[in-house]
Structure 1
Amino acid sequence: MAHPFLVKDIALQAGVSIATVDRVLHGRSGVRRHTIRRIEQAIRELETQRSQLGLSGRKFILDLVMEAPMRFTEAVRAALEAEMPGLHPAVFRARHHLAEVRAAANTVALLDAIARRGSNGIFLKAPDIPEIAAAVDRVVRSGIPVVTLVTDLPNSRRLAYVGIDNRAAGETAAYLIGAWLGERRADVLVTLSSNRFRGEEEREIGFRRALRENFPDLGIVDISEGHGIDRATGELVRTALAHHPDVAAVYSIGGGNASIVQAFAEMKRPCLVFIGHDLDADNIDLLRGRHISAVLHHDLRQDMRSACIHIMRAQGALPRSVAPGASNIQIITPFNMPA
């Protein structure tokens, strides 16, 4: 049994004799099974304690770089700030670089500036385009790990992706909309903030595939480049409704849901099913008012904790065996909203 601890320390932790620990470690017989389990548990406890001692006093400076609507960036910021105290004895500080719309060149310049200045890790939500992937590679070569949030850059040297399975989310939305519409023949309005984000593209791919395979009578009308901003999104929705009289449902991938609801009301058009993403303040109000049907939600605090753990592992503060799992997709309706 490989271990980095002194036999006497294992014995003290397990509450058994040094001789008993020695017999177990060398695989000799004559030790009861429950005693062996206690010694194995003692070694795991010592490993945990060693990790905690290694974290004591460690300080991590993080850079949160996001291009997303303000309502979402603020939700992510709040989730990160809520999780950081719980990572004690490690101490985290975050620098925020948040924008609703940011030119690719500006994102590249920002990442290069962080690489020059130094950081313990970057949490990044950005478009999946070659120049940003190249900037991520430069950051990683400078010794700074990068974790992508919500939308991935798989062709870069990023450390990990944190978020939901976006294709599965799109398939889930298709299932809900198809089931709720029943036998009705209709079009579904699919709204993206921008086609530059891989996560949104994957949600749309999953949605289209599941709808085509399971609900072939339902069509799709898509709009994008409203950037999840209410005014721009609302204008795109009104134009789409004017040209497509059969739209009767919405899958909102990119946000701006209040403006979408308002556009349907102004055009005096019924929206029979509306599926959105993320339990932000706007969506909470829309759910309570029964203006949208359901929200596909994932726990942002869990995501932020997972992202921090990835950084701690990369910096040698946690063992590599500690790996956070994927985010769960939660279907939130007006009847099961968390407090």
Structure 2
Amino acid sequence: MRPTVHDIAAAAGVSLATVDRVLNQRPGVRRITREKVETAIREIGYVRDVAAANLAKGRTYPLVFILPASDNSFMHGLHAEIREAMIRSPSERTSIRTVEVAAFDPAALVTALEKLADERPAGIALVATDAPEVVAAVDRLVADGIPVVTLVSDLTGSRRHHYAGVDNIAAGRTAARLLGRFLGDAKGEVAVLAGSMLVRDHRERLEGFAALMAQEFPKLSILPVLEGRDDPELAHMLVADVLSKHERVIGVYSLGAGNRGLVRALKARASSRPLTVVAHELTVHTRAALIDGTIDAILNQNAGHEVRSAIRVLKAKADGLAVIDAQERIRLDIFLKDNLP
């Protein structure tokens, strides 16, 4: 049976009020008495339930989510999940707000992080742009005792506490295997649409995709990556241009979130030649494209799970508690038109 504060009081020969003062580091306890209580704590193996203590004290956790200002459906969905978390705030003892910064802009992200350093929230979750100055800003926050979680796109090499997102190299490899199997023995070119190579999730997806393609589907060659900055209009223009200039394109991999523009470009070319398409993120637009056959497969990460995971981890880190890795593992879902939820 787990030792309690009553056991500490009995072992040290003091009152419960004295134990409470020692545990909460409040004044009014003589040094010799404090030492007796601390000795009793060590000897009986008492481990404090920090979460329960914070609940009793009514502690609230101010948390900040930093998101890119981006007009793509996945980010809209991420915002919606954070709003749901705000609704749950009273029961979860959180106070959540969002900060938007320019997408793929390391300087803007650093400015936001530095401003938050002065505010000292209980934790920060950010969609990371992978740049040395961002790593340095995150490391300064962690060194100052502020928990940091990366969301969707990681910042490896930094001191961030946790990453709430999918394994993006595995996601890229999965996309390559799907596309290669769908295309069979066909020989041709594959167009790849990314958001920006400044974010690690896009780089890692490309890395996994290219490695497996070269290894198992050598008849398919990958064209230079198109960077659509997750902007529907730019994505539409880039995809339409590559399809008009490269007649040997038989497959498309969209590893970012500019899928509204992608779908428009694909539909415009649908009558001229068949294309096999794998994309990321199940949204209202990609769902419709999956149903009508414009897209063949969707790889999806659950934005709600990522937001909930980030909140759990930030609260745990604020309390100095361990993270349950299995609970925080983000699953990669594969959707065809036949298994849509």
Give the TM-score, by structure 2 length: 0.80
Contact 2:235–2:261, Cα closer than 8 Å, also in 1: yes
Q: After the TM superposition, which residues 92-103 of structure 1 pair with which residues of structure 2 at under 5 Å, given as runs? A: 92-99=94-101, 101=103, 103=105
Question: Residues 63 and 245 of structure 1: is their aligned pair in 2 closer, same or farther, counting only changes over 3 Å?
Answer: same
Match of 2:136 in 1: 134
Contact 1:166–1:202, Cα closer than 8 Å, also in 2: yes
Q: After the TM superposition, which residues 225-244 of structure 1 pair with which residues of structure 2 at under 5 Å, given as runs? A: 225-244=227-246
Contact 2:154–2:200, Cα closer than 8 Å, also in 1: yes
CA deviations 1:273-294 (Å, max 9, x no partner) are: 2111112222222223332111
Contact 1:122–1:146, Cα closer than 8 Å, also in 2: yes
Amino acid aligned to 2:314:
I
Of 93-102 and 73-82, deviating more is 93-102
Q: After the TM superposition, which residues 287-298 of structure 1 pair with which residues of structure 2 at under 5 Å, given as runs? A: 287-298=290-301
CA deviations 1:3-30 (Å, max 9, x no partner) are: 433799xxxxxxxxxxxxxxxxxxxxxx
Match of 2:248 in 1: 246
Of 159-168 and 255-264, deviating more is 255-264
Match of 2:3 in 1: 4
Amino acid aligned to 1:4:
P
CA deviations 1:3-59 (Å, max 9, x no partner) are: 433799xxxxxxxxxxxxxxxxxxxxxxxxxxxxxxxxxxxxxx9987445335331
Amino acid aligned to 2:162:
A
Partner SS state of residue 250, structure 2: strand
Post-superposition shift, 1:178?
Answer: 0.7
CA deviations 1:229-249 (Å, max 9, x no partner) are: 111111111222233211111
Alignment match of 1:332 (pick from 324, 335, 341): 335
Question: Residues 289 and 49 of structure 1: is their aligned pair in 2 closer, same or farther, counting only changes over 3 Å?
Answer: farther
Please tell me the root mean square deviation across aligned C-alpha atoms, in Å.
2.6
Partner SS state of residue 319, structure 1: coil
Post-superposition shift, 1:127?
Answer: 1.4
Amino acid aligned to 1:286:
A
Query: Is 1:261 aligned to 2:256, yes or no?
Result: no
Question: Residues 55 and 295 of structure 1: is their aligned pair in 2 closer, same or farther, counting only changes over 3 Å?
Answer: farther
Mapped to 2, the partners of 1:48 and 1:217 lie a distance apart of 61
Match of 2:70 in 1: 69
Query: Is 1:305 aligned to 2:308, yes or no?
Result: yes
Contact 1:238–1:263, Cα closer than 8 Å, also in 2: yes
Q: After the TM superposition, which residues 8-47 of structure 1 pair with which residues of structure 2 at under 5 Å, given as runs? A: none
Give the TM-score, by structure 1 length: 0.80
Match of 1:216 in 2: 218
Match of 2:54 in 1: 54
Partner SS state of residue 127, structure 1: coil
Question: Residues 173 and 209 of structure 1: is their aligned pair in 2 closer, same or farther, counting only changes over 3 Å?
Answer: same
Mapped to 2, the partners of 1:48 and 1:297 lie a distance apart of 39
CA deviations 1:70-93 (Å, max 9, x no partner) are: 322221122233345557643222
Mapped to 2, the partners of 1:285 and 1:69 lie a distance apart of 21
Match of 1:107 in 2: 109
Mapped to 1, the partners of 2:110 and 2:266 lie a distance apart of 38
Question: Residues 233 and 330 of structure 1: is their aligned pair in 2 closer, same or farther, counting only changes over 3 Å?
Answer: same
Mapped to 2, the partners of 1:97 and 1:269 lie a distance apart of 44
Post-superposition shift, 1:322?
Answer: 3.4
CA deviations 1:311-333 (Å, max 9, x no partner) are: 111111x7315343321111012
Question: Residues 68 and 283 of structure 1: is their aligned pair in 2 closer, same or farther, counting only changes over 3 Å?
Answer: farther
Mapped to 2, the partners of 1:162 and 1:60 lie a distance apart of 19
Amino acid aligned to 1:238:
A
Amino acid aligned to 1:5:
T
Alignment match of 1:277 (pick from 277, 280, 287): 280
